[in-house]
Amino acid sequence: MAKKKSSTKPSDTHESPSQTFASLHGRVSAALADEDIKPSWRFAYAGTDEVSIQKHPTHIMGRFECRNKTCSNPGWASKKIAILIRQLHGHRYNAIVFKQRCKRCNSLGFMMIDKECYVERVSYRLKKWSGIKMDQGENFGKKKGLPHEEDFCEGCFLLHPNHIPKNHEVQSLANMIAPFVSQVLRSFTASQIITRSFASGVAKKNAPKKSGGASDGPSKTFPDLHGRIAAELAGENIQPSWWFNSSGTDHTSTKEHDTHIMGQFECGNDACRNHGWSSKKVAIQIRQFKGHGYDAVVFNQRCKECESLGLMKIKKNSYVERVSYRLKRWSGINVERPIYEGKEGPPHLRHLCEGCSTGHCKAVRDDELD
């Protein structure tokens, strides 16, 4: 007998990182019926680009299935499914629920939300926005679920991580690829492995001080993250809207702010034995341009073994939080400074930091943003 699905089928495709559940509006309306709210709340079917009056990030419960046929992970449960409830003009609302990825193959999961949990969270927030006095807090089960995997949560890339454990430890990339590497190594004979190791050692010895390699260059911008910046600014009604300037220079900028984000690096020199390093002091310069344009230049770091430029993998939610905070400040919005949680990272090696070499590295504490 086929397993009965208890979730509502959304209109979004399986490949989408988020979903809305318009079909549950009837249940939300029923939960609001006794409050005699005028005018009644309507579900907004419009896209998420519409400017919201206010928004509230929270979480619900549910399950996910991995639909990758080559993956052995049948699925997982979560009590920390990120959801963003948004109030729009005309007493309308919507609720964007963010998917999670399979930690074995990184595919987007097929989401089956707990509908009662969704209705309770959304109706509670709409009552609060309607001025109805409610008991403090939303009453949910007190049992803790599985640890929240921040790196596999689409909501963590877009929302302020208020539901993420403060000392959550990011899963090591090595752990993710270890099974694949092991399988590849088994395909080689012992003689092939010895030959490759010997050749690598010779190449390392004879390699130049700074190998060209496949590095990212001294600095890099991330225009593809502008959509996430815009989503973070959507509730502030900033006019005109900020746009990403792909051709900005130091000579054309009107304001600059040096700060830092978090990230990881791989050595761009194939002959180097340094597999990579992490940093909580990745230098970034945020710049403002005429016409409400901006960009954010992220500076690379060099390998301490061979001094080659690294391959950069930034922490996206760190970038989004820092850049959106600065744009809000430049827009005249009074916002609290984000606080970065967690242990102090490795010592910052200034002689290997491209931001330090260009005078744009502000090696300060994580909470010093001004």
Contacts of 355 (CB under 8 A, 6+ apart): 258, 260, 282, 283, 284, 285, 299, 361
Give the pLDDT mean for 327-353: 80
Whole-number pLDDT of residue 202: 39
Residue whose entry in the numeric block shows the structure tokens 């896209």: 47
Residue type at 271 in one-letter notation: A
The confidence score (pLDDT) of residue 6 equals 40
pLDDT of residue 86: 92
**59/183 Cα distance (integer angstroms):** 38
- 169 vs 279: which has the higher pLDDT: 279
Q: Is the pLDDT of residue 368 over 60?
A: no
Stronger pLDDT, 233 or 47, i.e. the higher one = 233
Percent of the chain with pLDDT over 70: 72
Maximum mean pLDDT: which of 11-25, 49-63, 155-169: 49-63
Choice between 264 and 177, residue whose per-residue pLDDT is larger: 264
In percent, the amount of the chain with pLDDT more than 90 equals 41
In the predicted structure, residue 209 carries a pLDDT above the cut 90? no
In angstroms, rounded to a whole number, what is the distance separating the alpha carbons of residues 213 and 216?
9
Q: What average pLDDT does this structure show over 44-70?
A: 83
pLDDT at position 361 is 85
Question: Is the Cβ–Cβ distance between 282 and 294 less than 8 Å?
Answer: no
pLDDT at 214: 55
Whether 160 shows a pLDDT value over 70: the answer reads no
More confident residue, 195 or 120: 120
Q: pLDDT tens across 219-244, in order?
A: 999 999 999 999 999 888 888 899 99
Average pLDDT over residues 77-90: 91
Which whole number is the average pLDDT over 276-288?
93
pLDDT score of 353 more than 70: yes
Domain boundary assignment for the chain: 18-158, 207-357
80 pLDDT higher than 60? yes
Q: Is the pLDDT of residue 323 over 80?
A: yes
What is the average per-residue pLDDT within 348-355? 88
Asked if 45 and 60 count as a contact pair (C-beta separation under 8 A), the reply is: no
By three-state DSSP, how is residue 95 classified?
Answer: strand
Classified as helix, coil or strand, 147 is coil
**pLDDT at residue 95 is higher than 60:** yes
Kind plus residue range of the DSSP H or E element containing 231: helix 226-233
Average pLDDT in the chain: 77
Mean pLDDT of the region 149-169: 60
Q: What per-residue confidence (pLDDT) applies to 186? A: 41
pLDDT of residue 289: 92
Rounded Cα distance, 143 and 348, in Å: 40
Is residue 348 over pLDDT 70? yes
| pLDDT tens digit sequence for 175-205 | 444 444 444 444 443 344 334 334 434 333 3
What 3-state class would DSSP assign to 197?
Answer: helix
Q: Which amino acid is at 57?
A: P
